[in-house]
Amino acid sequence: MKILTFNAQIGVGGTNIFNFLLLQPVYLLPHSHKKLREFGQMLKTEEIDITTLTEIEGKSWRSGWRNQVEEIQKETNLKYNHFFPVKQLKWPFQIINEGNAILSKYPIQKSSNYALPAKVEPRFLGQSTIDMNGKEIDVFVTHLSLGQYSRKLQLEKIAQILGNCKKPFILTGDFNEKNTDNLKKALGDLQGLSNSYNHNTAPSWNPSRPLDLILLSKEFRVKENYVIKDPKFSDHLPLISEVYLK
């Protein structure tokens, strides 16, 4: 099974530092979904089974009244999706509808969205239970805060939720964390933690930080991890893990 996690940067696509800075106003304006559709085509080419997304926009004014998750899905073989709202601006209408998402080749049976401790921007942990050929697994996606203290509290909350998880699970997302020890202290030595840290994902034009991770419970084994080294999609690179259940 191939899993991919990706910070989609709401489809803006900052491909270098100058482009990234120039595109800041576009975060608040409707813009093209071309890069997201190209990203969806890449998912199909790579034969991805499960994709998790952070910084993705649901239907809103900012997305041109399109659901970006569905725009990606149209280009793939991933039949199922769930959007987890995180940050919304609804006045005077739905201007912003940013969140996390899961797309899956396998049926999504149920989903939950857990609020995490946060001082400034809201942060959530999304969970979907997926029926993978008759075996249930839980897939989680999150995008943690930039501040170290907030991240610590968020990781503690995530560890509590995972501790109650009875199924094999996959934890993914943008952790905004450069120190493996902080993750190990909070979450334990999950499968793939050390391997994920061998792959820098940000910034996409000069990757030097392993911010995006795919971590697995003990029931999984990691065959390989790798990044798609194409900066055109976002200011982050997509991270892929090929895994199997023991």
- pLDDT, one tens digit per residue, over 6-21 is 999 988 776 656 555 5
Question: Is 90 a residue whose pLDDT tops 60?
Answer: yes
The better pLDDT of the pair 246, 14 is held by: 246
Torsion of CA 98, 104, 109, 110, to 10 degrees: -20
| pLDDT number for residue 27 | 63
HSE-up of residue 147 (Cα within 13 Å, Cβ side): 11
Tens of pLDDT, residue by residue over 167-225, are 999 999 999 998 888 888 888 878 777 777 789 999 998 999 999 999 999 999 999 99
For residue 12, what pLDDT is reported?
Answer: 75
With beta carbons less than 8 A apart as the criterion, state whether 143 and 86 touch.
yes
DSSP string, 43-85: HHHTT-SEEEEEEEE-SSTTTTT--HHHHHHTTSS--EEEEEE
How does residue 120 score in pLDDT terms, banded at 50, 70 and 90? Answer: confident
pTM score: 0.93
pLDDT at 23 over 70: no
Whole-angstrom distance, CA of residue 135 vs CA of residue 131? 6
